[in-house]
Amino acid sequence: MSANLVKIGPLSQPVDIGDEIAQFSPEIEAEIDQHLAKYPVPRSAILPLMFIVQRERGYLDPPGVAYLAKRLALRFTDIWEVATFYSMIYTEPVGKYHIQVCRTLSCKIRGAGKITEHCSQKLGIKPGETTADGRFSLSEVECLGSCGTAPMFQINFDYHEDLTPAKVDQILASLP
Amino acid sequence: MFIGAIGCEPLQLARVHLENSRSLDVYRQHGGYEALKKVLNGMSADDVINEVKKSALRGRGGAGFPTGMKWSFVPKDSPKPKYVVCNADESEPGTFKDRYLLERDPHLLIEGMLIAAYALASKTCYIYTRGEYRYLIDIMDQALAEARAAGLVGANILGTNFSCEIYTHTGAGAYICGEETALLSSLEGMRGHPRMKPPFPAVSGLYASPTVVNNVETLTAVPDIIKMGGEAYQKLGTEKSGGTKLWSVSGHVNRPGVYELPMGYDDMEKFIMEDCQGMLDGKKLKAVIPGGSSVYIMRADQIIGKDVRMDYEGLVAAGSSVGSGGFIVMDETVDVFESTKNLTEFYKHESCGWCTPCREGTDWLVKVFKRVADGAGRLEDVQLMLDLCDNIEGKSFCPLGDAASWPIQSAIKRFPEDFKKRLVNGES
């Protein structure tokens, strides 16, 4: 569960959806159709589709919201209320690599704080921030189900477990 | 990290160490889909439900509700479609067993779901997996494709007139979606808000149709129950807690891991000191949260020399509960005020905002914890925390409020010194 750190803005700021609607290639449209075919009600596909929009556009941007509203025959607000509920749906840009350090109890007592601090120092950003070049975002998140291999973080969808500062250096250096 | 069984033959973990354990071939070579064959060749839906009832299998997600009874609540005469939903939204802090079942034995879950679907006359199943477990959704999709190609999922399974589809579904980061009605809201494409019960999902669940929601560990127990018979499965455990249970062990032990133990395993001290190879760095045991973050925290002196049996009744008698089996061990260096603050911050973040007691209560609790941590604690703050808990527990819309209150109430009761020293010395 990602923390609320990357998406503080949208809840208090009005967002202008505008007139632009995102467009996707036929392959991605076909992938979206596959998800829709799983459910008797199109709205059920809202989260899988949001992840696709996010993957293709970096985050759920206003044209992406407009696209989902059109594709699922829903209102913008229907899309927005769901988007703002789930911590893995980004309504603001995030870095290319989103480092999500687990902060919950099992990780905490096995040194999660040191891992966050180490990332923070190395990247020059605090949790909740993104590097100026847009390469890294850092967050502290709630339990990721990796308690037996604590401390750990998730970079985008990849789990990295049994971390030490040296291992963190290695992982960060290996990213393309 | 250790993965394996202690005190019994591995059942749910029987295949996790095999090479290519997640492939259909390996699964079949080791007894896979034999239970499904047995069911389709001569068992009625009621026969299946009866075996599950006899097995004394209790829901492994945390609530411990008898599974056979849950299944029997689905109305047989309903003209609506029926759904089986697997709850793979494993998010209870300290719990990571389902992850390894999905990762290493995906066909076991598919077989369990098919048997459940047969018993409940369901043609459509969903596996709701937490969004962070993306790699497991890919593994499940691959296993489902293999099963489909082999005629095990889809139309006319194994040449019979039983047809059933199973689909994966992704969550997107919300602990509350592990609560079964919130999960169903989320699966319908809504915010993950819990719903009023009754009607229970068995009567009106997904798309207002009869629905059974079961945890991964619950459903993966079903094939073995069918194979060995409900009675034999029950006998592996105790009278009221049948079978085996997976414990996710984390924290300050030398060997964390996923341990499969027979229900009623004797006893908790031996489990920590021998099976988990004792305390890390030879430190002293201070506390254990035995069933995921929501259950009562236990003092070492409630465990050492107390012969605590590890099953539903044994843990209640010892002053806590099995919950999800997320077993968090803490040594003498842990400050229980700090550990409880950490969990309270978790519940505040995960409160869905639907009902006032939980939304406001968890927020205020965090504020009080922060004030005390910052050295500005007042003598009455411990009582204030208890009052806040009292206004949440039993008064919130769903069990998240209770789950937020219990760790605090038990920590204050059992580790008053860790709270008091903050107030008396003003130490931060």
The residue out of A32, A59, A83 marking a domain boundary is A83
Using 50, 70 and 90 to split pLDDT, how confident is the model at B330?
very high
Q: In angstroms, what separates the C-alpha of A108 from chain B's closest C-alpha?
A: 8
B62 touches chain A (CB under 8 A): no
Task: Please report whether residue B189 resides in a domain.
Answer: yes
Task: Indicate the number of domains in chain B.
Answer: 3
Region B191-209 average pLDDT: 96
Task: Please report whether residue B19 resides in a domain.
Answer: yes
Examine the domain organization and report whether B189 and B40 are in the same domain.
yes
More reliable by pLDDT, A27 or A7:
A27
CA dist list (Å): B86 to B124, B221, B324, B326: 11, 13, 15, 19
Task: Please report whether residue B307 resides in a domain.
Answer: yes
Examine the domain organization and report whether B318 and B381 are in the same domain.
no
Q: Which of B179, B183, B21 is nearest to B100 (CA)?
A: B21
Alpha-carbon gap, residue B242 to B233, rounded angstroms: 6
Examine the domain organization and report whether A102 and A166 are in the same domain.
yes
Examine the domain organization and report whether B162 and B61 are in the same domain.
yes
Phi, psi of A116 (to 5 degrees): -60, -45
Examine the domain organization and report whether A56 and A30 are in the same domain.
yes
Region B167-190 average pLDDT: 97
Examine the domain organization and report whether A15 and A77 are in the same domain.
yes
Alpha-carbon gap, residue A74 to B383, rounded angstroms: 48
B207 touches chain A (CB under 8 A): yes
B349 touches chain A (CB under 8 A): yes
Task: Please report, for the domain that includes residue B248, its CATH number.
Answer: 3.10.20.600
Alpha-carbon gap, residue B317 to B308, rounded angstroms: 8
The residue out of B331, B363, B392 marking a domain boundary is B331
* Domain limits for position A67: 4-83
B256:A148 CB<8 A: yes
Is residue A123 a contact partner of residue A158, using CB atoms and an 8 Å limit? no
Examine the domain organization and report whether B318 and B227 are in the same domain.
no
Task: Please report whether residue B2 resides in a domain.
Answer: no
Task: Please report whether residue B341 resides in a domain.
Answer: yes
Task: Indicate the number of domains in chain A.
Answer: 2
Q: Out of B94, B188, B256, whose CB is closest to A105?
A: B94
Task: Please report, for the domain that includes residue B384, its CATH number.
Answer: 1.20.1440.230
pLDDT reading at B54 higher than 50: yes
Q: In angstroms, what separates the C-alpha of A20 from chain B's closest C-alpha?
A: 24
Q: Which of B321, B406, B322 is nearest to B362 (CA)?
A: B406
8-state DSSP, B131:
G
Region B220-234 average pLDDT: 97
Examine the domain organization and report whether A13 and A63 are in the same domain.
yes
**Per-residue pLDDT reduced to its tens digit, B13-25:** 999 999 999 999 9
The residue out of B201, B236, B271 marking a domain boundary is B236
The residue out of A60, A83, A106 marking a domain boundary is A83
Alpha-carbon gap, residue A148 to B243, rounded angstroms: 23
Q: What is the pLDDT of residue A3?
A: 39
The count of C-alpha atoms lying within 13 angstroms of the C-alpha of B31, restricted to the half-sphere facing its C-beta, is: 12
Number of Cβ atoms within 10 Å of the Cβ of B365: 24
Region B297-303 average pLDDT: 98
Q: What is the pLDDT of residue B424?
A: 65
A4:B250 CB<8 A: no
Q: What is the pLDDT of residue A17?
A: 73
pLDDT reading at A72 higher than 90: yes
Examine the domain organization and report whether B379 and B403 are in the same domain.
yes
pTM over 0.90: yes
Q: What is the pLDDT of residue A15?
A: 65
Percentage of chain B surpassing pLDDT 70? 99
**Per-residue pLDDT reduced to its tens digit, B106-139:** 999 999 999 999 999 999 999 999 999 999 999 9
A145:B186 CB<8 A: no
Is residue B349 a contact partner of residue B390, using CB atoms and an 8 Å limit? no
∠ CA B386-B391-B396 to the nearest 5 degrees? 130
Examine the domain organization and report whether B168 and B311 are in the same domain.
no
Examine the domain organization and report whether B343 and B327 are in the same domain.
no
pLDDT reading at B298 higher than 70: yes
Residue of B nearest to A158 (CA): B135
Region B337-354 average pLDDT: 97
Region A107-117 average pLDDT: 98
Least confident of A3-12, A90-99, A165-174, B165-174: A3-12
Examine the domain organization and report whether B267 and B372 are in the same domain.
no
Burial class, B99, CB count within 10 angstroms (exposed 0-12 / middle 13-18 / buried 19+): buried
Examine the domain organization and report whether A10 and A37 are in the same domain.
yes
Task: Please report whether residue B76 resides in a domain.
Answer: yes
Examine the domain organization and report whether B46 and B148 are in the same domain.
yes
ipTM above threshold 0.90: yes
pLDDT reading at A18 higher than 80: no
Structure token pair of residue B293: 């973050």
Q: Out of A109, A154, A157, whose CB is closest to B252?
A: A109
Q: Which of residues 128-157 of B touch A (CB under 8 A)?
A: 130-135
Task: Please report whether residue A34 resides in a domain.
Answer: yes
Task: Please report, for the domain that includes residue A155, its CATH number.
Answer: 3.40.30.10
Task: Please report whether residue B1 resides in a domain.
Answer: no
Q: What is the pLDDT of residue A84?
A: 95
Q: In angstroms, what separates the C-alpha of A103 from chain B's closest C-alpha?
A: 8
Examine the domain organization and report whether A124 and A55 are in the same domain.
no
Using 50, 70 and 90 to split pLDDT, how confident is the model at A12?
low
Is residue B423 a contact partner of residue B378, using CB atoms and an 8 Å limit? yes
* Domain limits for position B269: 244-331
Q: Which of A69, A172, A61 is nearest to A122 (CA)?
A: A172
Alpha-carbon gap, residue B61 to B63, rounded angstroms: 6
**Across all residues in chain B, what is the average pLDDT?**
96
The residue out of B301, B331, B361 marking a domain boundary is B331
Q: Which of residues 117-176 of A touch B (CB under 8 A)?
A: 141-150, 154, 157-159
Examine the domain organization and report whether B343 and B361 are in the same domain.
yes
Region A131-140 average pLDDT: 97
Q: What is the pLDDT of residue B400?
A: 96
Alpha-carbon gap, residue A167 to B247, rounded angstroms: 28
Q: What is the pLDDT of residue B423?
A: 83
Q: Which of residues 111-130 of B touch A (CB under 8 A)?
A: 126, 130
Tracing tokens 């539903």 back to the chain, one arrives at B312
Examine the domain organization and report whether A12 and A72 are in the same domain.
yes
Q: Which of residues 48-87 of A touch B (CB under 8 A)?
A: 48, 50-51, 72, 81-82, 85-87
More reliable by pLDDT, B427 or B189:
B189
Examine the domain organization and report whether B40 and B120 are in the same domain.
yes
Percentage of chain B surpassing pLDDT 90? 96
Examine the domain organization and report whether A57 and A19 are in the same domain.
yes
Task: Please report whether residue A88 resides in a domain.
Answer: no
Q: In angstroms, what separates the C-alpha of A89 from chain B's closest C-alpha?
A: 7
The SS3 assignment for B122 reads: coil
Examine the domain organization and report whether B77 and B165 are in the same domain.
yes
Task: Please report whether residue A60 resides in a domain.
Answer: yes
Q: In angstroms, what separates the C-alpha of B183 from chain A's closest C-alpha?
A: 12
